[in-house]
Structure 1
């Protein structure tokens, strides 16, 4: 199954009773494994989970910690980029060159990279003292 197909399929499982805005994400690791996630809303809005965060959690739970490619899909007029928090989460597990494809359910796609989504990203090197 392609990342696109996996993201579209998992999007249908999203729990979005408040916003009705379902998002699906699929990640591929260098091993070729694919992990998926969908947004899960909670009536206490800040307590929800983004699709990208869910897919990353599934990847880490399976024992992998490196991204090779990302696909995110939503039912919107234009492809929706990951939120700021998810951009940082993607950067935690992927290099700046990792491809991120954002798509709509109608098939419009936009490709970018983690580095372009989060220029000047905070990383572990910022915590090293000279």
Structure 2
């Protein structure tokens, strides 16, 4: 799967967003070494603190299906005029899955006219993860 196909999967996921409060639909798509793709979208709640980000939903789905590493790339899309990046919580959640497989996935931060390509380690340097507990 190409980066563009991963971006398209994230955009498709955003169409299923439940974001009645922020009106800010976000989609995420994760690509694994085995070629599988897992998507997620943000899910808001009237009790705002209970909202779930698209990346967290996608990681939860992947781990519930047995994924424990192999994360190669992540695409994140949202509305607005600038590329969207994962929030701090999502960076940490992505890092947990990446460290389980010893990867530093490419993060595609997607805007309407630009895609920023970064590594997770660029977004979360000196990350705390499973190895930190040893």
TM-score grouping bracket, smaller chain normalisation: over 0.9
Q: Compare the two structures and name the one with the higher helix fraction.
A: 2
Distance 2:131 2:7 in 1: 33
**Aligned residue number for residue 101 of structure 1:** 108
**Aligned residue number for residue 122 of structure 1:** 128
Query: Which of the residues 89, 94, 100 maps onto 2:93?
Result: 89
Moved more, 53-62 or 31-40: 53-62
**Aligned residue number for residue 24 of structure 1:** 27
Q: Tell me if the contact between 1:96 and 1:113 (Cα under 8 Å) persists in the aligned partners.
A: no
For the aligned residue pairs, the C-alpha RMSD in angstroms reads 1.3
Question: 1:96 deviation in Å?
Answer: 5.8
Distance 2:58 2:48 in 1: 19
Consecutive unaligned residues of structure 2, counting only runs of 5 or more, are none
**Secondary structure, in 3 states, of the residue corresponding to 1:68?**
strand
Greater than 3 Å deviation, 4+ residue runs? none
Number of residue-to-residue matches in the alignment: 127
Distance 1:61 1:97 in 2: 21
Consecutive unaligned residues of structure 1, counting only runs of 5 or more, are none
CA deviations on 1:90-115 (whole Å, 9 max, x unpaired) are: 110115631000102x2421110110
Q: Tell me if the contact between 1:18 and 1:41 (Cα under 8 Å) persists in the aligned partners.
A: yes
